[in-house]
Amino acid sequence: MSTSLERRRRFAVEALNRWQDHTSTCRQQDVACSATSIAETPPMLQRSDSLDHSTALSLDNIRQSLIRQEDTIIFSLIERAQFAANEPVYQSGAIAVPGYAADGRQYSLLEYLLWETEQMHGRIRRYTSPDEHAFFPRDLPPLVLPPIQYSEVLAPYAREININDKVMALYLDHLIPGITEPGTDNNYGSSAMYDVLALQALSKRIHYGKFVAEAKFLANTEDYSSLIRQQDADGLMRLLTDEAVEAKVVERVRRKAATYGQDITSSSSAPGLDNGDLADSARPAGGERGCDSAKLHYKVEPEIVAELYRTWVMPLNKEVQIQYLLRRLEAP
């Protein structure tokens, strides 16, 4: 093990020990480890060493990450699409669950599950990471792990940019009706569980715009700075938009959705497979496509995924980029 690795490990162990001392003192004194007390005695773990600064902000690397995230999004949609729309999951009071929104209305089952998931993940630092954004950011709990000091890749105000309300609206108003069969099938818990996974994946993809924007700003500081000084959002939109890349993204996700979501049920659609062993599962929202003599069934219609990216994911990613860039000259 290299000396620097050893040093880092020792530092982490010491930090953890200090943290445990702190929590055990709190327990002995019967004091809750509040967010404030944690913030005041931060046995910080440094994350900067693990980040390769030369490549962290290359646009190519960021685009590779966006490509990997496509798989997570498409698989979560395929999983969700096996169940009906299950509207009661999204209606306040339709399914009795604990918890109330800020306006006094009862939580829906989805809100309840998302809130509880964020409580658990929040405690183990998920939302201290610059690429994660909570749907209930005001309710995040104190950490049970020592905080991590991330290297400062983004400008300090980046954390204030959170458009998860729009992510939720696109999901409920457009995606669920698009990928599921109308009606209910009683799979409320399973539906909400996949909703949470899909929402988190979409949120990450969309807020990745912060990293894209920072990379673009660093690569062309002069042009971006002049538009930022004029607060020219339209000009920024023109400068950051790459239509050729967007066309490739749409085409790629269409092909991925077609490949990952294909039901292999006919011998001509998957030569060499013994299709008798494969379950012919329900395909509530799946489309059908002609392919030679066989019909291809899709668990999620590829065109819906392409449309999701064209109409929502990329425009919202660019909205995040604009929000980030408009303030970029505030950065020290």
Ligand X SMILES: C=C(O[C@@H]1C=C(C(=O)O)C=C[C@H]1O)C(=O)O
Query: Which residues make up the interface to ligand X (CB under 6 A)?
Result: 63, 66, 212, 240-242, 245-246, 249, 314, 317-318
* Residue 305 vs 314, nearer CB to ligand X: 314
Kindly tell me which of 210 and 297 has the beta carbon lying closer to ligand X: 210
Is the CB of 180 or the CB of 323 nearer to ligand X?
Answer: 323
Minimum CB separation of residue 244 from ligand X in Å reads: 8
Q: How far is the CB of 179 from ligand X (least distance, A)?
A: 20
Comparing CA positions, the residue from 86, 112, 90 lying closest to residue 186 is 86
Q: What is the CA radius of gyration of the chain?
A: 23
Closer of 268 and 311 to ligand X (Cβ): 311
Minimum CB distance to ligand X, residue 218 (Å): 14
Amino acid at 221: T
Residue 111's φ and ψ, nearest 5 degrees, are -60, -40
> Residue 31 or residue 219: which is nearer to ligand X going by CB?
219
Residue type, position 191, single letter = S
Q: How far apart are CA 128 and CA 255, in angstroms?
A: 34
Which is it for the CA torsion 105, 108, 110, 113, positive or negative? positive
3-class DSSP state for residue 331? coil
Provide the minimum distance between the beta carbon of 332 and ligand X in the complex, in angstroms, as a whole number: 25
Residue 35 to residue 196: CA distance in whole angstroms? 25
Beta pairing partners, 106: 100
